[in-house]
Structure 1
Amino acid sequence: MRKLVYIFISLLIFNSCKKEKEIQQKALQSKIVWESYDEVEDLESTKKLSQERMHLKLVNSKVLDKNDIWSTLESELDYFSEEDYGRLKPFVLEQDIPSIQKSIKEGKLSYEELTKFYIYRIRKYESDNSLSLNSVISLNPDVVKQARVLDKVDKKNIEVNSIYGMPIMLKDNIGTKDMLTTAGAIALQNNRTDNAFITKRLLEENALILGKANLSEWAYFLCVGCPVGYSAIGGQTLNPYGRMIFESGGSSSGSGAVVAANFCVAAIGTETSGSILSPSSQNSIVGLKPTIGLLSRSGIVPISSTLDTPGPMTKSIIDNAILLNAMIGKDPEDATSVSTDTDFIISIKDSIIEGKRFGVIKSLLQDSVYVKAINKIKIAGGEIIEVEPGQPSLPGFLSILNIDMKNDLPEYIRRNSTDTISIKTVEDIIAFNLQDTLVRIPYGQGIFEGIVKDSTTTEGLKKIKEDLKVTARKYFDSQIDQHNLDVVLSINNYHAGYAAVAKYPALTVPMGYTNKGEPKGLTFIGKPFSEDKLLQLGLWYESISKERKIPVNYN
């Protein structure tokens, strides 16, 4: 009898060890390593593109080893296999937040599994040189542990329209305590900060900060005519709908790409003039540039305290509203910040199209994708009014950005950066970059040099700001008021400059694709603090158009 017990115990131990060995073998098989490659062929292919700005000098960063992005999370993936990834795919890929939350409530996946799914997917694609997008700069080393904590609650009490447990990516100019905030620049490579106000709001709502997305360096306010989506830290962000063929849009390039490729539930971008609208349109996602002041800017690397704003970038309107709800709140550190009682999730449910009046810009009717979208709106009951607002110039626009950045960047560094950052001014950064131009500024720093040269006075700048605000508001209001319009419809970021200086909100929604497969967005522009109306109309358009399609190689 004792011998039988011994044999039984031995078999148990043997089977247990065998099973453990099989798990370890699977874990070793799932280890994926990124290796650098000869980029010459890829770079030569971009020289054939008609758009000179797409003639790339490099693909991957010269200072970031991609393996370092996920190295601290490798152990968390030891027991997460391709099998697990495949099992979870139907519950995650292209799903909106309410659908994911519903699956979690039903026990089909957990917040931990959801987080691991995205980390695994990022590593899977970003380590493959034929598919990588260079869209991620860093991952939160504690995000899986944080997800486990959130899994301990009773899921029945979680609202489906909640950001709770949702892995979110932040553009890498938005402050995070757990990760560096670089703005894509080597000068800020070791920039340790506290959480930005909007980061704190997301964490208060129990969102998971998955990581930091690549961007156009210094929010595309560094070099003249350089590729959008390039940064010295992250390399060249690529468009999942056409790698090294279509632009990724800028400057929230990485935020657009990570959402489009399903590397996260949603992302946050920032815009001064077109930097949310452009990458959202180029990546066939929903992007909202809010009214200046609706979302706080404190803790975000600035271009212009006059025009900067963060905003949500998502695969759907409902996710956009959920993310916006999570970030609103009056910030005493931001003089433009306002409070609002609007619940954007509730407000978009009242989406009615009949009788809504859409201003259609005549000069854009040569665009077949735009015309197709207008026809859908018309057939569904929307009233189409063709408008001709003209195209007034915006003299002095660049000086707003130059002088604001000259003043706002040193203030940001003073308030947010630690002693590890030695640069204090734009002049310091120019000098720093000149120490190694090939690595730090392969496309030059012409805009930074222009900032230093701009001698606009305080009084002169004040007049420029006021004059442009009047011009831009007249540009929109002359049509909105005359024709009693609910919204003006544009394409991509075509009218982002006017919306910027007018301080008007704009929302872009996937509109379709060109014959070559390049995405385009239908952009809704309205008066200040009309985000609820824009989201209502965007939801309605989304429901009749259903134009977003997952990139072919990322399904």
Structure 2
Amino acid sequence: MTDLTRMKVAQARDALRAGEVTSVALTEACLTAIEGADALGAFVHKTPEIALEQARAADARIQEGDAPSMCGIPMGIKDLFCTKGVPSQAASGILKGFKPEYESTVTSQLFDAGAVMLGKLNMDEFAMGSSNETSVYGNAVNPWRRGNDDAALTPGGSSGGSASAVAADLCLAATGTDTGGSIRQPAAFTGITGIKPTYGRCSRWGIIAFASSLDQAGPMTKDVRDAAIVLGAMCGHDPRDSTSVDLPVPDFESMLTGDIRGKAIGIPREYRMDGMPAEIDALWDQGRDMLRDAGARIVDISLPHTKYALPTYYVIAPAEASSNLARYDGVRYGHRATLASGEGINDMYEKTRAEGFGPEVQRRVMVGTYVLSAGFYDAYYNRARKVRTLIKRDFEQAFATGVDAILTPATPSAAFGLGELQDADPVQMYLNDVFTVTVNLAGLPGISVPAGLDKQGLPLGLQLIGRPWEEGDLLNTAYALETAAGFVEKPTKWW
């Protein structure tokens, strides 16, 4: 069997069970591909010894007939997930040398299901970014190119390494995290599928925190079926996470019938914004027509507080970040600055954080500290919390009218060049989250599905937003959209 790394999770699972391939062979093929893809900057900590040990155990398990769907599947793990004995730095210099003595709940569940860890994946520092340019490891690079242009493009962020690795067939799937769009935006930029489940569906225990009320883990895969399979292994109640919901995890894959006849799909008028590129607008219209042709009923809806979502997010997220990142002080673990003679503990705190945090993290910590400070707490943070409630209520009212899912663009553009926005006003970069942050603020499930190419040959994605805890229905609607779109394009290998 050739092109092992191009296999999807479902294909590999079936081939493993049929004895047509071994996990060791799959893993070795991926490890070889990774070694030849350093130009992408996707894998930052490679773990071939761990991978082959896990692959051998998976093969033995399959032979014994004890083979969950993820058994033997080679994956990449975002550097935000703590993995026992393996560097877990959140792409930050302040955590250099940190090797956890524990395993995150999500990775534990994946390994219990027989998944194979190929290594840790690049990301924006502490998940703060939309282009994977804030990483201490350097940029992750999109495997796609604009026509014959050799300019390096962003894979999106913060899960840019995950997106790049899956799109380039370095692994069969990857974990990501999504705080304001960090799974869905990079998935759209690289032509893959990414789902952010309902807040609380996947445990946050052992995931290095950015903004605790917004962070949620999810899978990044080559198609919707694979997303359903991997998500099923990642979900589950965790008593160590107070926000983890105690609900049964459905068999998401079995719900992929593609039958959406009679489903009501909402089209929010507020998402049709001034200055939206014509290609994004046209793709959105095509997606609406695809779902209508599949039997869905298209309904115009209003989400009136959408226009306040970005400023609300960029008050709440930095506020929570400033609190979460206060623990990185150089005392217990990670980087500690070298002090000059006569300098004391306050100097150590200041120098350690100045040296260990990059400019974007410093910016958000400063903003977050400001909005939480005396005199500004009510004016900014409390007001943002109230607006967040109104945004959530907009969705609740739309779903109460009978809407089953909401269709929107995933991003305001295709992938842009590395460096094109990095030195601009940070707000220009933050605008990449315009279609995704509402989902995190409301705690809803959202999925990005590749649906077409722009005029330069770059992938474009559409986003579907579902009812809380109904990931199965959302995945089935995404499956119908994926089937109708028929997106099968892959990047031409240049790395």
Report the TM-score when normalising by structure 1: 0.74
The 2-side partners of 1:370 and 1:552 are apart by 26
1:510 is aligned to 2:450: yes
Name the residue aligned to 2:368: 451
Name the residue aligned to 1:27: none
Q: Name whichever of 472-481 and 325-334 sits farther off.
A: 472-481
Name the residue aligned to 1:331: 238
2:386 aligned to which of 453, 467, 484: 467
The 2-side partners of 1:480 and 1:393 are apart by 20
- Taking the TM superposition and a 5 Å limit, the aligned residue runs for 1:28-427 are 88-89=2-3, 91-93=4-6, 95-126=7-38, 132-140=39-47, 141-155=49-63, 157=65, 159=67, 162-193=69-100, 194-220=102-128, 228-242=131-145, 244-362=151-269, 363=272, 366=278, 367-390=281-304, 391-394=306-309, 396-410=312-326, 419-422=333-336
What letter corresponds to residue 432 of structure 1 in structure 2?
Answer: T
Name the residue aligned to 2:351: 431
Deviations 1:497-551 (A, max 9, x none): 2111111111111111111122111111122112111111111211222214211
1:522 aligned to which of 457, 462, 469: 462
Identity %: 26
1:454 Cα deviation from its structure 2 partner: 3.5
Give the 3 Å change call, closer, same or farther, for CA 428–321 of structure 1 in structure 2.
Answer: farther
Instruction: Check the 8 A contact 1:331/1:337 in 2, yes or no.
Output: yes
1:237 Cα deviation from its structure 2 partner: 1.0
Instruction: Check the 8 A contact 1:358/1:489 in 2, yes or no.
Output: yes
Name the residue aligned to 1:498: 438
The 2-side partners of 1:257 and 1:368 are apart by 26
What letter corresponds to residue 448 of structure 1 in structure 2?
Answer: V
The 1-side partners of 2:329 and 2:293 are apart by 53
The 2-side partners of 1:338 and 1:186 are apart by 33
Instruction: Check the 8 A contact 2:166/2:220 in 1, yes or no.
Output: yes
Deviations 1:93-122 (A, max 9, x none): 1x2222112222333321111111011001
The 2-side partners of 1:152 and 1:541 are apart by 38
1:282 Cα deviation from its structure 2 partner: 0.7
Report SS of the residue matched to 2:400: helix
Instruction: Check the 8 A contact 2:266/2:406 in 1, yes or no.
Output: yes
Instruction: Check the 8 A contact 1:261/1:554 in 2, yes or no.
Output: no
Name the residue aligned to 1:79: none
Name the residue aligned to 1:488: 406
1:480 Cα deviation from its structure 2 partner: 3.3
The 2-side partners of 1:545 and 1:122 are apart by 30
1:158 Cα deviation from its structure 2 partner: 5.2
1:255 Cα deviation from its structure 2 partner: 0.8
What letter corresponds to residue 469 of structure 1 in structure 2?
Answer: R
Name the residue aligned to 1:546: 486
Q: Which has the larger radius of gyration?
A: 1
The 2-side partners of 1:487 and 1:426 are apart by 51
What letter corresponds to residue 383 of structure 1 in structure 2?
Answer: R
1:422 Cα deviation from its structure 2 partner: 4.1
What letter corresponds to residue 368 of structure 1 in structure 2?
Answer: A
Q: Name whichever of 444-453 and 400-409 sits farther off.
A: 444-453
Give the 3 Å change call, closer, same or farther, for CA 183–292 of structure 1 in structure 2.
Answer: same
Instruction: Check the 8 A contact 2:371/2:381 in 1, yes or no.
Output: no
The 1-side partners of 2:298 and 2:312 are apart by 34
1:421 Cα deviation from its structure 2 partner: 4.8
What letter corresponds to residue 349 of structure 1 in structure 2?
Answer: L
1:389 Cα deviation from its structure 2 partner: 3.0
Instruction: Check the 8 A contact 2:303/2:391 in 1, yes or no.
Output: no
What letter corresponds to residue 131 of structure 2 in structure 1?
Answer: V
The 1-side partners of 2:329 and 2:351 are apart by 17
Give the 3 Å change call, closer, same or farther, for CA 349–274 of structure 1 in structure 2.
Answer: closer
What letter corresponds to residue 323 of structure 2 in structure 1?
Answer: N
What letter corresponds to residue 365 of structure 2 in structure 1?
Answer: F
Report the TM-score when normalising by structure 2: 0.83
Segments of structure 1 that go 5 or more residues without pairing to the other structure are 1-86, 127-131, 222-226
Report SS of the residue matched to 1:489: strand
Instruction: Check the 8 A contact 2:92/2:358 in 1, yes or no.
Output: no
Give the 3 Å change call, closer, same or farther, for CA 232–487 of structure 1 in structure 2.
Answer: closer
Between the two structures, name the one with larger relative contact order (CA 8 Å, sep ≥ 6): 2
What letter corresponds to residue 168 of structure 2 in structure 1?
Answer: A
Name the residue aligned to 1:224: none
The 1-side partners of 2:60 and 2:361 are apart by 50
Instruction: Check the 8 A contact 1:229/1:236 in 2, yes or no.
Output: yes
Give the 3 Å change call, closer, same or farther, for CA 120–296 of structure 1 in structure 2.
Answer: same
Give the 3 Å change call, closer, same or farther, for CA 430–545 of structure 1 in structure 2.
Answer: farther
Q: Name whichever of 398-407 and 316-325 sits farther off.
A: 398-407
Name the residue aligned to 1:536: 476
Instruction: Check the 8 A contact 1:511/1:522 in 2, yes or no.
Output: yes
1:174 Cα deviation from its structure 2 partner: 0.7
